[in-house]
Amino acid sequence: MHDTSGPPPVNAAPAGAAVSARRARRLTGLAVLVLLLCLAVLASVLVGARALSPDTVRQALTATAGAEADIIVKEIRLPRTALGIMAGVSLGLAGALMQGHTRNPLGDPSILGVTFGAALAVVLGIALFDITALHTQAWLAFAGAGAAVVVVYLIGSVPGRGPTPVTLALAGTAVSWLAYSVVSGLVLLDRSTMDDFRFWRVGSLVGRDADILLPMLAVVAAGTLLGLANAGALNALALGEDTARALGHRVGRARAVGLLAITLLTGITVAACGPIAFVGLIVPHLARGIVGADHRWLLPYSALMGAVLLLAADVLGRFLAPPGELQVGIVLALVGAPFFIYIVRSRRLLAL
């Protein structure tokens, strides 16, 4: 018998060390993002129109007397912060999933018609049934977002193969513009509808019903689990559908899971906060620039970055228009558009 044992290949140890170092860097990056999120949460609780010292906030968190500071912290700032975290996680993760499934670097969750489907449902509820309660409008918006995605999926499905990235993008664009036209017509025809709709469409964390937080948490948790479970399939789909099938993935099921996750995450966020732009578009590019195209890392990075960005923009908006504040949707548009132009001009728009 010949002794087949021997020293490992010369390049095995350096390659293994490089993989370990890259994994350590990525884990460190996640830890840094968690730390940044904690700082953003702290700023969101401390900063507001009414100045409160850290000690006052600490006492308000533990007090039950119902003083003014207790009410501000517990009933306004904490729910607002929780809403911002969930909305940021949802939009960041949904944007990464959307860009991965459509292979479109300019893709964001609104491509599937989610935003305007939700807007159409809200406008119809106001115009036809005089529904002005934000809590009811939120569930109307969620239903409208889900209905829009179903229509887009059906229109974009190729007989025998299901939806493709191109057909999904085209169908989503068509459905979005159709819904936008109907919304514009209804709003212009009815002044009261326009007034009621204006508050919802700005994209804000302020004045939202705290009763939606627990249902939103359940939906966001379900969408996040589905999205993270979709990472392996997305990595395979990046190599082409035929290769993904050869690797044992069911392409149709993978796309359905991804679209369901996007619908849940974006639909509930648009329902609760209104349409908030740029988070789902910019965050995946930032995450991809750090961890590359591996969706096993890209998706959690995008979720955490989305939460940090949204909370930071909300805190920034409290300083920009004293004694009032700018809504987070406006701040993100002001900051996001120039930043995205910078990414494109500096050629950091990474190919998918």
Mean pLDDT, the chain, rounded, equals: 83
Query: If 0-12 CB within 10 Å is exposed, 13-18 middle and 19+ buried, where does residue 158 land?
Result: exposed
pTM of the shown model? 0.85
Q: Which residue has the tokens 């100045």?
A: 51
The DSSP string of 200-223 is HHT--STT--GGGHHHHHHHHHHH
User: Per-residue confidence at 1, pLDDT binned at 50, 70, 90?
Assistant: very low
Output DSSP code: residue 77.
I
Superfamily of domain 19-345: ABC transporter involved in vitamin B12 uptake, BtuC (1.10.3470.10)
CA atoms of 175 and 179, how far apart (whole Å): 6
226 versus 187: which is more confidently predicted? Answer: 226
pLDDT value at 251 more than 90: no
Question: Highest mean pLDDT: which of 71-80, 138-147, 158-167, 308-317?
Answer: 308-317
Q: Summarize pLDDT for 115-168 with one digit per residue, the tens.
A: 888 888 888 888 888 777 767 777 888 888 888 888 888 888 767 666 777 788
Q: Summarize pLDDT for 261-277 with one digit per residue, the tens.
A: 998 898 888 888 888 88
pLDDT value at 71 more than 50: yes
